[in-house]
């Protein structure tokens, strides 16, 4: 028998038309926002940046991060004009697993640096996951309570541009703008997972690895090859009853570091314990960084590393542009799905499919050129 609830007269189960929901964005605000997006001229951006105008710097960084082609054109010109004024800084990469205390430490390091060494500090980040997680690092400026209100600091969350290559390039370009604006210290925070550490390492003069005692992270660091790229290792949370464990971990790290080949810098990384939260040992960590910088400036490694990084970034840019040119091509976008299916169905091999697609793309370029 038909269930009574299926009867059309069973009004209680009828679905009534819903009420249309209003837009979550105030339409008036959206209009105002559009108006505010007026671009300045390249010259206005550059002049603003060179006189250290933080607002103009932020606006220029927004252009750098934008995916709109018209923004990118202006951004690239601004970067080019700022380039002669850049480079005069100490760039420090700061890495650690989530919870290692990066934000707390950057807050402490930054305030000590500005108060004891003077100058200005820009804090940037590379977090390729930030699109999904809405910024697991630097998403929340309140995590750097003291630094975020310091007049000599500039804090910028990670760009949310999808691929790691894209995010890293934007952070590197932002470094140039910050240096032109007179920031002589740059911190680049990166979350200690995956490839983002390598990307961060490729744009800094000193790579600081924050570790915790007694979590087994020590060994993970060794396994993932992170220790090879660290210029200094610091054990955070060396406070209260954790001090002994932190000292023990430091000794283990020092011993392990002697097993690695001598780094190109000619310096075996130092290992220090500190507490970002209780402000213990902060000056020693900063002194360690500046000692290293002094040394590598004298032995020529500082400039050598920056030259290598410039080359690396040239090749990275080529890779990025070749890739985006290919994948954004309309013909390729149409064909790529069917090629994938053919590969999965076993009709052609992956290599043949790749060659066919590349041939299509190259032929198209050739025809466009003639």
Q: Check residue 174 for interaction with ligand GDP (CB under 6 A).
A: no
| Interacting residues with ligand GDP between 277 and 306 (CB under 6 A) | 277-278
Which CB, 137 or 339, lies closer to ligand GDP? 137
Q: Check residue 40 for interaction with ligand GDP (CB under 6 A).
A: no
Contact 168, 199 (CB under 8 A): yes
CB of 234 to ligand GDP, least distance (A): 10
Which CB, 89 or 95, lies closer to ligand GDP? 95
The helix (H) or strand (E) run that includes residue 191 is strand 185-191
Name the DSSP class of 242. G
Binding span for ligand GDP by CB under 6 A among 115-123, 145-153, 165-173, 234-242: 234-242
Which CB, 182 or 221, lies closer to ligand GDP? 221
Site string for ligand GDP, 86-105 (x = CB under 6 A): ----------x-xxxxxxx-
Cα–Cα distance measured from residue 138 to residue 135, given in angstroms and rounded to the nearest whole number = 7
Task: Name the one residue in this structure whose structure tokens are 């605000």.
Answer: 29
Task: Name the one residue in this structure whose structure tokens are 């740059």.
Answer: 186
How big is the site for ligand GDP, counted in residues (CB under 6 A)? 16
Q: Check residue 134 for interaction with ligand GDP (CB under 6 A).
A: no
**CB-based burial, 22-43: b 16+ in 10 Å, e otherwise:** eeeeeeeeeeeeeeeeeebebe
Among residues 157, 221, 232, 276, the one that binds ligand GDP under rule CB under 6 A: 276
| 191 strand-pairing partners | 96
| Interacting residues with ligand GDP between 334 and 353 (CB under 6 A) | none
Spatial CB neighbours of 72, under 8 Å, sequence gap ≥ 6? 63, 66
| 153 strand-pairing partners | 121
Contact 237, 212 (CB under 8 A): yes
The helix (H) or strand (E) run that includes residue 44 is helix 42-50
CB of 20 to ligand GDP, least distance (A): 42
Binding span for ligand GDP by CB under 6 A among 70-78, 215-223, 235-243, 301-309: 235-243
Among residues 81, 112, 141, 143, the one that binds ligand GDP under rule CB under 6 A: 143
Cα–Cα distance measured from residue 309 to residue 317, given in angstroms and rounded to the nearest whole number = 12
Which CB, 102 or 172, lies closer to ligand GDP? 102
Contact 99, 197 (CB under 8 A): no
Name the DSSP class of 84. G
| Interacting residues with ligand GDP between 238 and 257 (CB under 6 A) | 239
Q: Check residue 221 for interaction with ligand GDP (CB under 6 A).
A: no
Q: Check residue 130 for interaction with ligand GDP (CB under 6 A).
A: no
- Which parts of this chain interact with ligand GDP (CB under 6 A)? 96, 98-104, 143, 236-237, 239, 275-278
């Amino acid at each position: 028998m038909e269930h009574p609830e299926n009867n059309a007269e069973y009004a209680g189960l009828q679905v009534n038309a819903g009420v249309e929901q209003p837009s979550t964005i105030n339409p008036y605000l959206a209009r105002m926002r559009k108006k505010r997006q007026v671009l300045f001229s390249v010259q206005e951006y550059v002049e603003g940046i060179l006189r250290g105008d933080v607002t103009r710097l932020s606006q220029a960084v927004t252009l750098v991060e934008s995916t709109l082609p018209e923004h990118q054109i202006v951004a690239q010109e601004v970067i080019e004009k700022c380039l002669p004024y850049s480079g005069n800084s100490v760039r420090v990469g700061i890495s650690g697993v989530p919870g290692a205390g990066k934000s707390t430490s950057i807050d402490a390091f930054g305030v000590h640096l500005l108060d004891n060494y003077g100058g200005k500090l820009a804090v940037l980040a590379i977090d390729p996951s930030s699109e999904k997680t809405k910024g697991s690092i630097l998403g929340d400026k309140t995590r750097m309570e003291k630094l975020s209100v310091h007049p000599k600091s500039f804090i910028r969350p990670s760009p949310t541009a999808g691929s790691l290559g894209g995010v890293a390039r934007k952070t590197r370009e932002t470094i140039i703008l910050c240096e032109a604006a007179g920031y002589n210290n740059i911190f680049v925070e990166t979350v200690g997972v995956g490839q983002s550490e390598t990307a961060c390492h490729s744009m800094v003069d000193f790579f600081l690895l924050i570790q915790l005692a007694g979590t087994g992270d020590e060994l993970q660091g060794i396994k993932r090859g992170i220790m090879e790229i660290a210029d200094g290792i610091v054990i955070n949370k060396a406070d209260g009853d954790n001090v002994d464990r932190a000292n023990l971990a430091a000794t283990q790290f020092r011993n392990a570091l002697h097993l690695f080949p001598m780094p190109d810098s000619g310096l075996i990384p130092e290992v220090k314990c500190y507490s970002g939260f209780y402000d213990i040992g902060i000056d020693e960590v900063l002194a360690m960084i500046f000692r290293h910088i002094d040394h590598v400036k004298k032995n020529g490694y500082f400039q050598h590393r920056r030259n290598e990084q410039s080359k690396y970034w040239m090749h990275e840019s080529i890779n990025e542009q070749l890739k985006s040119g290919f994948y954004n091509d309309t013909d390729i976008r149409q064909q790529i799905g069917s090629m994938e299916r053919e590969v999965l169905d076993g009709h052609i091999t992956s290599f043949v499919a790749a060659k066919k697609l590349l041939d299509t793309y190259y032929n198209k370029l050739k025809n466009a050129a003639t």
